[in-house]
Structure 1
Amino acid sequence: MDHLNQGIQYMQEQKYEEAAQSFTKAIDENPNEPLGYINFGNLLLHMNDPERAERFFEKAIEVDQDAATAYYGLGNVYYEQEQYEKAQKPFQQAIQKGLEESDAYYMLGLTLLYQEQFKLAMPYLLRATELSPEDAEIHFQYGMCLAQVDLIDDAIGTFHKVIQLNDEHSDAHYNLGVALLYKEDPHQAMQHFEKALEIQPDHMLASHAKAKVEEALSQDSEE
């Protein structure tokens, strides 16, 4: 097994010191090959050392400007530090360089979502759902984006999809309840607030929403 694959195996086994040694050897043997730098960057990011990780990803790009996963790694460095605007460009570059994977589209969508650029985020999150149709969390974030631009019917359909994939997703139940309130369906909304609280008893938003709906329904019955 070569040093690169050995390092990856060590990483999977959580033997980080051995992984670092293997990646160092891989870089020494092939200093003009970006994968050694990229994997070392991934290791450092995993070990919460973003500053050094950034340098390794930048070195990989210096060696090969078409190394798509190096741009993706660099985007993750900034994303982990909540520098969403800074993360946006390398994620875009990763896709432009050919990284046709759901994670790339998802992370770019999230950086835009967290900058409240909802309309820009939508096509990337949609593409991520197409590439990972069974990933509940990707569908959930897409649903959140749809809700933010008032595409309520589409958001409701997407939250139903999330629950179909993972019925224990408390935030999906809560946000589906909110969307149903917009459609003036408080009884259905209440069921999802209750489900959210059943899954996560300390879900404060669901608890507050449930109390508000109960109060409104009580007033309606008295009138």
Structure 2
Amino acid sequence: MDENEKAIEAISNGNFEEALELLNTAIEKDPQDPVAYINFGNILAEVGESERAISFYQKAIEIDEKAAAAYYGAGNVLFNEEKFGEALKMYQDAHQAGLDDGSLHYMMGLSNFQTEKTGHALACFQRALEWDETDIEARFYYGLCLAQTEQLDEAIRQLKQVVEEDDNHADAYYNLGVASMMNEGLEEAIQYFDKAVEAQPDHMLALNGKEQARKMLEE
């Protein structure tokens, strides 16, 4: 087991200091090994040292422009800093470098969603679900995108599947309520808003939605 492998084991056990020492040794032994820089960046990202993490990912990319994990790691750091456009570019570079899995498509979807590129987000979440149909959050955002593109029946079907798999998903219940209102199902909407509040009592959007649906019923 080399230093990189030992470092990964230390990281999984939460021993970051030991992992950093091992990675320092790995870099001293072979300064042209991108894996050590990526692992170093991952630890720095984990402890909130974003700028240093990015610099280690960039070093890995300088050594190997096909280091997909470095682009992905940098994308996650940028996403967490709410630099969604920059994050998306990193995820796209990771994809071009050969990374292709559900997590990547999900993060690309979130980045597109946050920058209001709903059509692109929809395609990414659909791809994420093709990789892992049990990914509840990918399905939730897929449902949101369907609703935003006025595909209400399919949006409702997807969101219903979310709450079947997670009956405490307050945001899914809330959005089912909104979609039901748009589909003129006011009584059904109120039931969904109630479910959202039951799952999360301080869900203000659901409380407001219920009040609005009641007023519309009275009219």
Paired residue for 2:78? 78
Counterpart amino acid of 1:52?
R
- Aligned counterpart, 1:24: 24
- Is 2:165 aligned against 1:168? no
Q: Deviations over 1:112-168 (max 9, x none)?
A: 111111112211111011112111111111111222221212211111121122111
Deviation at 1:30, TM superposition (A): 2.6
In structure 1, C-alpha distance between the alignment counterparts of 2:113 and 2:129, rounded to whole Å: 15
Deviations 1:56-104 (A, max 9, x none): 1001111111111111111112111111111111100111111111111
Note the C-alpha offset of 1:109: 1.2
| 1:6-45 deviation line (CA, Å, top 9, x unaligned) | 2112222222111111121222223222111111111111
Structure 2 matches for 1:1-223, cutoff 5 A? 1-217=1-217, 219-220=218-219
Cα distance in 2 for residues equivalent to 1:41 and 1:51: 10
Paired residue type of 1:90: M
Report the 3-state secondary structure (helix = DSSP H, G, I; strand = E; otherwise coil) of the residue aligned with 2:150: coil
Where 1:72 maps in the other structure, the secondary structure is helix
Q: Measure the CA separation in 2 of the matches of 1:147 and 1:68.
A: 33
Q: Distance in 1 between matches of 2:25 and 2:165?
A: 43
**Equivalent pairs: percent with the same residue?**
42
Aligned residue pairs: how many?
A: 219
The runs of 5 or more residues in structure 2 that have no matched partner are: none
Residue identity matched to 1:160: K
TM-score (norm 2): 0.96
Secondary structure of residue in 2 paired with 1:116: coil
Q: Bigger CA drift: 25-34 or 93-102?
A: 25-34
Contact 1:71 1:93 (8 Å CA) reproduced: yes
What value does the CA root-mean-square deviation take over the aligned residues? 1.2
Letter in 2 for 1:55: S
| CA offset digits 1:151-195 (Å, max 9, x no partner) | 212211111121122111110010011001111111111111111
